[in-house]
Chains A and B, each alone.
Chain A
């Protein structure tokens, strides 16, 4: 164990830690910060997330029909009244015969968007001005203004219609009749349980996936840059020959792979802790106990799982990818006679692992790929087994090869 610790000290030196901090800072600034700072991003995502958050806090992870009815009865009239008041204050809209929210919706739905007709172009200009959207694409001002009220009402109405849709098994089954057998079976399971009553906005799920997709790239980069010089440096300086003459002998290489694997777990844990804490500042953890396959996200996941469990699966996949990659880096480092050989090998390894991880983290547990419900974790485990097996072979062969 003492030697393993010494090998780990070689990996976790001050330079590595500073480099890692710099890498994390730059990576966060360029690729990850937008998922935290700009969440929820745009309309009506912001309203959907706010509504789902309010429902979760009030009613818990699942929503019963009477609870939704109660919530709508409490909030919708207030929103409509505010919108009606807003509309009543507009003299331009009155000229168009629009006096309340209902007539506004009707006018918007019926209006043909033929701007070559001057009368229609004039009406469109009035509506555009009313909604606060200048033609130049100026952004809306936050606060109590009509566009936001409309988004809030639309978010509530959409939620109600989606909920009514999932509560009707015949419509759901009709919807799923052209799907694969696995998908249909899973869909029937969701209908027969309370899974579809879960509350989880699609935007929250996609933002979390995209953040995880970015984070796994950071795990890959950090693993490659931190662990790769370990064996290459020893070999370049011919320290390994000295190590082999020690009491430990050629068993040192076994200790080195152990040190690399332990360091990989430490590195992934550190990155996960830091970046999960940062991500949690956007408030997504309120949905921790909610099902991923909610009425907001019909496709959901291939297994019955909550949002918290889903995040744990993503974290586990990152551990597996990190550990698998560290074994490949170990092998690469073992065969690199100098740093340039090492770098030339690291670039293709990075590209290959980035493409694989990007694919695996795009929508994990979302589809029955090759008929498997847990395809993505299976690929990660397979990658680790291959890497670990190859590393063991190297360690075993190292004991017998002629180093002179």
Chain B
């Protein structure tokens, strides 16, 4: 533990990591404050706190008892017109469109149909439970949801990943930079120091991620009133997915999520993703001694994983496998816990993706660590 503490001190003493955290905070603050304030969304949040989130006759009746305003009229019009969007929602059409757009056949087409057959059952349950008759942010739902889960969360996740990677590359490359490798590796702890370094960097990465998240969310939820909408269903009829092949379609999740539980699930899984990238950092940092080259290797590997599915034929089964890799999971974050769209063949792709990536990278990390203990360092 003493060595871990020392390594943590080394990382903190490097102004680069702290500076990056500070810059990330400034960036997030700018992202939140320059995005424009939606006063109607604030009004809806206030209304939902007063009269609840379940839409229906009672809601409309109570709403009309509130003071007259332009926003009240708008909300009344929007909520009274809202139908149970899942009642006549047939997702088989989505599968058909995806299959014809990508020219899928065989196993890929079967899997695509199976995914949407499963989703049809979920949709039927949602229709029965009236999940879509939930207020959320009414007419501002799509933009507000996109702001939080499409901009703020992915930005935070990327920052968490970068900080973890920088911490790892810094601590693993530290001895090489200071030409103390031989000295450290001949000490009692020897080459196993890399494990302590990993723990130290992972702790720093996670703490920085938590700190960033806490401060950013504090600012975000101060600027955007969510007080009344936490219990709204995330599959509200006002929420939507913008699909490249179909256009706007209902936001159907595999499980029943409120806004709060969806946020917690996304945050939880994002930690898993950061964990995966910490293994990537460890594997690269122990395999490549030069930190700059190690960073470039990660950069190019990420770019390669990003490019390969685009270069493969659209009906290739392997193409869909890439969607389970960390870089694609990161890009697909706004669609987590939904069907995932045209590039995804399997339900719960994000959970499977993080678990499989974690397992594969853990094995590679152990292999890299064993290889490192046997490597000729002179």
Residues of A within 8 A of B177 (CB): 236, 338-339
B296 touches A344 (CB 8 A): no
CB of B210 within 8 A of chain A? no
Binds B, one of A22-30, A94-102, A143-151, A169-177: A22-30
CB of B375 within 8 A of chain A? no
Residue among B20, B27, B307 making CB contact with A29, cutoff 8 Å: B307
Binds B, one of A183-191, A275-283, A345-353: A345-353
Closest chain A residue, CB of each to CB of B294 = A339
Residue among B17, B23, B166 making CB contact with A348, cutoff 8 Å: B23
Residues of B within 8 A of A343 (CB): 16, 166, 169, 291-292, 295
CB contact list, B137-191 vs A, under 8 A? 162, 166, 169-170, 173, 177
Decide yes or no: A340 and B14 within 8 Å by CB, A19-B296, A29-B307, A29-B311 being known contacts.
yes
Closest chain B residue, CB of each to CB of A345 = B16
Measured CB to CB, the closest approach of chain B to A354, in angstroms, equals 12
B23 touches A136 (CB 8 A): no
Report Cα–Cα, A343/B298, bound state, in Å: 12
Measured CB to CB, the closest approach of chain A to B10, in angstroms, equals 11
Closest chain B residue, CB of each to CB of A346 = B295
Residue among A19, A22, A339, A348 making CB contact with B173, cutoff 8 Å: A339
Measured CB to CB, the closest approach of chain A to B21, in angstroms, equals 10
Report Cα–Cα, A351/B310, bound state, in Å: 24
Decide yes or no: A22 and B292 within 8 Å by CB, A30-B310, A339-B173, A344-B19 being known contacts.
no
B173 touches A30 (CB 8 A): no
Closest chain A residue, CB of each to CB of B299 = A225
Residue among A22, A27, A136, A341 making CB contact with B14, cutoff 8 Å: A341
B296 touches A138 (CB 8 A): no
Report Cα–Cα, A92/B73, bound state, in Å: 48
A26 touches B300 (CB 8 A): yes
Residues of B within 8 A of A137 (CB): 97, 100-101, 245
Residues of A within 8 A of B20 (CB): 344, 347-348
Closest chain A residue, CB of each to CB of B303 = A26
A229 touches B292 (CB 8 A): yes
Closest chain A residue, CB of each to CB of B23 = A348
A339 touches B291 (CB 8 A): yes
Residue among A27, A339, A348, A351 making CB contact with B290, cutoff 8 Å: A339
CB of B359 within 8 A of chain A? no
Report Cα–Cα, A19/B293, bound state, in Å: 10
CB of A265 within 8 A of chain B? no
B292 touches A339 (CB 8 A): yes
Measured CB to CB, the closest approach of chain B to A14, in angstroms, equals 13
Residue among B290, B296, B307 making CB contact with A225, cutoff 8 Å: B296
Report Cα–Cα, A231/B14, bound state, in Å: 19
A138 touches B16 (CB 8 A): no
Measured CB to CB, the closest approach of chain B to A221, in angstroms, equals 9
Residues of B within 8 A of A229 (CB): 292
CB of A313 within 8 A of chain B? no
Q: Mark A16-37, 1 if CB is under 8 A from B, else 0.
A: 0001001100110110000000
Residues of A within 8 A of B9 (CB): none
Report Cα–Cα, A348/B303, bound state, in Å: 19
CB of B15 within 8 A of chain A? yes
Report Cα–Cα, A29/B303, bound state, in Å: 10
Closest chain A residue, CB of each to CB of B300 = A22
CB of B96 within 8 A of chain A? yes
Residues of B within 8 A of A340 (CB): 14, 16-17, 166, 169-170, 173, 291
Measured CB to CB, the closest approach of chain B to A346, in angstroms, equals 9
Q: Mark B276-310, 1 if CB is under 8 A from A, else 0.
A: 00000000000000111001100010011011001
B290 touches A26 (CB 8 A): no
Report Cα–Cα, A127/B23, bound state, in Å: 58
Measured CB to CB, the closest approach of chain A to B312, in angstroms, equals 11
Closest chain A residue, CB of each to CB of B171 = A340
Report Cα–Cα, A351/B162, bound state, in Å: 13
CB of A316 within 8 A of chain B? no
Report Cα–Cα, A232/B295, bound state, in Å: 15
Report Cα–Cα, A338/B175, bound state, in Å: 12
Decide yes or no: A344 and B16 within 8 Å by CB, A22-B300, A26-B307, A29-B311 being known contacts.
yes
Closest chain B residue, CB of each to CB of A228 = B292
Decide yes or no: A338 and B97 within 8 Å by CB, A29-B310, A344-B166, A347-B162 being known contacts.
no
Measured CB to CB, the closest approach of chain A to B171, in angstroms, equals 9
Measured CB to CB, the closest approach of chain A to B204, in angstroms, equals 12
Closest chain B residue, CB of each to CB of A25 = B307
Report Cα–Cα, A339/B14, bound state, in Å: 11
CB of A342 within 8 A of chain B? yes
Report Cα–Cα, A96/B290, bound state, in Å: 75
Q: What is the interface of chain B, defined by CB distance below 8 A to chain A?
A: 14-17, 19-20, 23, 27, 93, 96-97, 100-101, 162, 166, 169-170, 173, 177, 245, 290-292, 295-296, 300, 303-304, 306-307, 310-311
Q: Which 10 A-B pairs have the closest CB atoms?
A: A344-B16, A340-B170, A339-B292, A339-B291, A341-B16, A26-B303, A344-B20, A29-B307, A30-B307, A338-B177
Q: What is the interface of chain A, defined by CB distance below 8 A to chain B?
A: 19, 22-23, 26-27, 29-30, 136-138, 225, 229, 232, 236, 338-345, 347-348, 351
Contacts A/B (CB < 8 Å), 24 sampled: A22-B300, A23-B300, A23-B303, A26-B307, A27-B303, A29-B307, A30-B306, A136-B100, A137-B101, A229-B292, A338-B173, A339-B169, A339-B173, A339-B291, A340-B14, A340-B16, A340-B169, A341-B15, A343-B291, A344-B17, A344-B19, A347-B162, A348-B23, A351-B27
Known A-B contacts: A338-B170, A347-B162. Give 19 more (CB < 8 A): A22-B300, A27-B303, A29-B307, A29-B310, A136-B97, A136-B100, A138-B100, A232-B292, A338-B291, A339-B291, A340-B291, A341-B16, A342-B292, A343-B169, A344-B16, A344-B17, A345-B19, A348-B23, A351-B27
